[in-house]
Structures are given as structure tokens and as C-alpha cells.
């Protein structure tokens, strides 16, 4: 009887130690009890292309927005998070060739168990059609682009990443309020809902009038818009080496798409499938007290009307640096 009790006691101790080792073996460290201050600097941009057999020599139109560097300052503590962004003076490209772009980026995100939710709105107003001197005689090599200050592109997205590995946390992947302490990978699925497109507010057609096909009303469209819904499967992998962390996320899938174009007073609508890609890359130096990370992500959108294709890529690149501080402890009053 005593031998059986000893065996049961040994089994209990073994299970307990195993349970503690499982807790201790979490692949990430969280800093929810610390105040995280950070700053970032970078830029966001949203160029797009329109492809169509306009002439024997011209099949692609490239629309470029002018970028400005954005400085951000943020703080995070427990459930609270706040970031303020300020566009710095000046533009990356010369305004004489690319005009000026006004842009608005709004969004918020949150996590629930193995899912990460992200809601974004991007509005870019002001584009230039690159190398328009090829069809416009009023332009030259010194002033090669056609400026379109009224041209606006919009993207509204609701995305959810659901990870198979319950130890994978997007906060640790991002590296501000948490970071990983060892390698990790996971399969995920990304349900996605998007409303996106470009237009000129009913003024000039999207395509220059010199390149319009009089037999195809879609080439005289003032706006192109799509609403799509689908799922993108993918993989995420994080490599941890000493204090360096590198994470990459990638996926490819398809969405069901309802698409429209407006030409004068004519609206045409169609239904189809469209490809979607999901790419994120984050790398840097991350210690318990401070971190410096390079952050990038890409979001592609596409709409096709037979031989006319609209493709746009929203992407941002930035450097993020911050510190994690212990909150001040309140002093106990002496009686």
C-alpha cells in the first residue's frame, strides 16, 4: 500500500513539473504591465496601374501618388493604446512632376484568443500619370507626367487572421508590447472584406481621352469600384536569434468580387473572382527594455473587365523604436 502511495506521489510531482514546464515554455514574453513609449518614421503609398491594349506601343498606364514622410508617436499600457501621426513638411518626389497628394489613413485592431482583427480606411487624393508625354503633345521630357489632382483612390478593409498555433500572438510578431523568445510558425486563414477603387469625382475619365477606345465604354469610365469577400490561407514564421527577431507572413487566395464602372450616365456591373496576396515583414533588435524594428506590409487590390485590368498596391515602410518602462509605484503613506 505504501509503495502504491509513493508511486502516486511521484506521478503527481511529475505531472506538476510537466505543467510548470509547459507554462515556462511559452514562446513569447508580454509587457502589458509596462508602459511602452515608441516613435516611428516612414511613408505609405498606393500606386496603381491600368492595363489595356491602347495602341501598339502603349498597354500600361502608371499612376503615382506623391509621398510625404510621416512621424508617429505612440504609447501603450495594459488595454490602452494611442498613436498620433504627423506628416512632415515636403514631399519625396518633386511636386512639379508628381503634384501633391493628400492622404488619410485610419484604422484600429484588437485580438481575441487566436484571432487578430484589423479595420483600415485609406484615402489618397492626387495622382500623376507617368510618362504621359508619349500621347500628350503638350508635355515634354522636362515635364513628362500628367497631373491629376482630382483623382482619388479609396480602400476600406476588414481583415481577420485566425492562427492554428494558439501560442502565436500578433502582438509578439509586431514586437512592441511583446516579443518572442524562440522560433515559432503557424498556418492561418484570413477572412477578408474590401471596398476599393479609384475615380475622378465625375470630372475627367480615369484614362486620358487621347487613349480612349470609342468602341469600349469602359475606357471612358470616370470610376472603377469593387466589393469583394473571401479567404486567404497562409503561413507565418518567426526566427529568434539572441536579441534579433525576424518575422515574415505570406498568403495567397481568391475573393468573390462584385465590380462596377461608371462612364458618363452608364453604370455596368459584373461578378467574378480576383486573386489576393497577404505579405508582412518585420525585423529588428528587441530586448526587454527597448526595441528597434523595420516594419513593412503590402496589400494588393485588383479589378478586371476582360482585357482592361486595374491593379493597386497599398504598402508602408517604417522604422519603429521604443522603450518599455516600469510604472511608478505609489508610495505608502506612513501613519
CATH number, domain of 229, equals: 2.40.128
d(CA 190, CA 113): 15
Instruction: For residue range 252-303, list pLDDT tens digits in order.
Output: 999 999 999 998 888 899 999 999 999 999 999 999 999 999 999 898 999 9
d(CA 215, CA 304): 18
Q: What pLDDT is attached to residue 287?
A: 93
In a domain, 190, yes or no: yes
Q: Which of 248, 313, 273, 256 is nearest to 46 (CA)?
A: 313
Name residue, grid cell 503609398.
Answer: 45
Q: What pLDDT is attached to residue 105?
A: 81
Q: 16 pLDDT exceeds 60?
A: no
Look at 96 and 5; give whichever has higher pLDDT.
96
When pLDDT is cut at 50, 70 and 90, the band that residue 331 belongs to is: low
d(CA 75, CA 78): 10
In a domain, 137, yes or no: yes
- List CB contacts of 212: < 8 A, sequence separation 6 or more: 205, 219, 220
Instruction: For residue range 26-72, list pLDDT tens digits in order.
Output: 899 999 889 999 999 998 899 999 999 999 999 999 999 998 888 98
Please state the rounded mean pLDDT for residues 108-131.
90
Instruction: For residue range 216-266, list pLDDT tens digits in order.
Output: 999 999 999 999 999 999 999 999 999 999 999 999 999 999 999 998 888
Q: What pLDDT is attached to residue 83?
A: 83
In a domain, 133, yes or no: yes
Q: What pLDDT is attached to residue 200?
A: 87
In a domain, 131, yes or no: yes
In a domain, 3, yes or no: no
Q: Measured between alpha carbons, how far is residue 119 from residues 102, 122, 158, 194 in Å?
A: 21, 10, 5, 10
Domain of residue 227 covers 31-325
d(CA 321, CA 37): 9
d(CA 67, CA 45): 6
Name residue, grid cell 511521484.
Answer: 10
* Number of domain units in the chain: 1
- Note the helical H segments in the chain: 2-24, 95-98, 170-174
Instruction: For residue range 153-206, list pLDDT tens digits in order.
Output: 999 999 999 999 999 999 999 999 999 999 999 999 999 999 999 998 767 899
d(CA 221, CA 267): 9
Instruction: For residue range 136-162, list pLDDT tens digits in order.
Output: 999 998 899 999 999 999 999 999 999
In a domain, 12, yes or no: no
Q: What pLDDT is attached to residue 18?
A: 42
Amino acid at each position: 500500500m505504501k509503495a502504491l502511495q509513493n508511486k502516486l506521489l511521484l506521478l503527481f510531482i511529475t505531472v506538476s513539473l510537466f505543467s510548470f514546464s509547459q507554462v515556462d515554455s511559452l514562446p513569447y514574453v508580454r509587457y502589458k504591465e509596462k508602459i511602452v513609449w515608441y516613435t516611428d518614421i516612414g511613408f505609405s503609398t498606393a500606386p496603381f496601374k491600368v492595363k489595356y491594349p491602347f495602341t501598339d506601343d502603349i498597354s500600361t498606364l502608371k499612376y503615382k501618388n506623391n509621398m510625404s514622410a510621416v512621424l508617429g508617436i505612440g504609447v501603450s499600457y495594459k488595454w490602452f493604446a494611442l498613436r498620433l501621426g504627423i506628416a512632415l513638411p515636403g514631399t519625396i518626389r518633386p511636386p512639379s512632376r508628381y503634384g501633391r497628394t493628400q492622404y488619410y489613413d485610419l484604422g484600429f485592431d484588437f485580438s481575441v484568443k487566436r484571432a487578430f482583427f484589423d479595420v483600415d480606411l485609406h484615402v489618397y487624393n492626387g495622382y500623376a500619370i507617368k510618362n504621359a508625354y508619349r500621347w500628350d503633345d503638350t508635355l515634354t521630357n522636362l515635364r513628362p507626367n500628367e497631373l491629376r489632382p482630382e483623382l482619388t483612390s479609396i480602400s476600406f478593409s476588414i481583415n481577420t487572421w485566425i492562427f492554428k498555433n494558439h501560442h502565436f500572438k500578433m502582438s509578439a510578431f509586431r514586437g512592441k508590447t511583446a516579443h518572442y523568445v524562440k522560433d515559432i510558425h503557424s498556418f492561418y486563414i484570413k477572412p477578408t472584406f474590401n471596398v476599393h477603387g479609384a475615380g475622378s469625382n465625375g470630372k475627367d475619365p480615369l484614362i486620358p481621352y487621347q487613349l480612349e477606345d470609342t468602341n469600349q465604354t469602359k475606357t471612358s469610365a470616370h470610376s472603377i469600384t469593387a466589393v469583394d469577400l473571401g479567404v486567404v490561407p497562409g503561413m507565418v514564421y518567426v526566427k529568434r536569434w539572441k536579441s534579433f527577431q525576424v518575422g515574415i507572413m505570406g498568403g495567397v487566395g481568391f475573393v468573390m468580387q462584385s465590380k462596377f464602372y461608371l462612364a458618363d450616365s452608364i453604370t455596368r456591373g459584373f461578378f467574378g473572382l480576383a486573386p489576393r496576396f497577404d505579405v508582412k515583414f518585420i525585423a529588428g533588435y528587441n530586448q526587454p527594455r527597448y526595441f528597434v524594428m523595420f516594419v513593412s506590409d503590402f496589400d494588393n487590390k485588383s479589378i478586371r473587365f476582360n482585357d482592361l485590368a486595374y491593379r493597386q498596391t497599398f504598402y508602408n515602410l517604417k522604422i519603429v523604436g521604443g522603450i518599455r518602462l516600469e510604472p511608478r509605484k505609489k508610495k505608502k503613506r506612513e501613519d
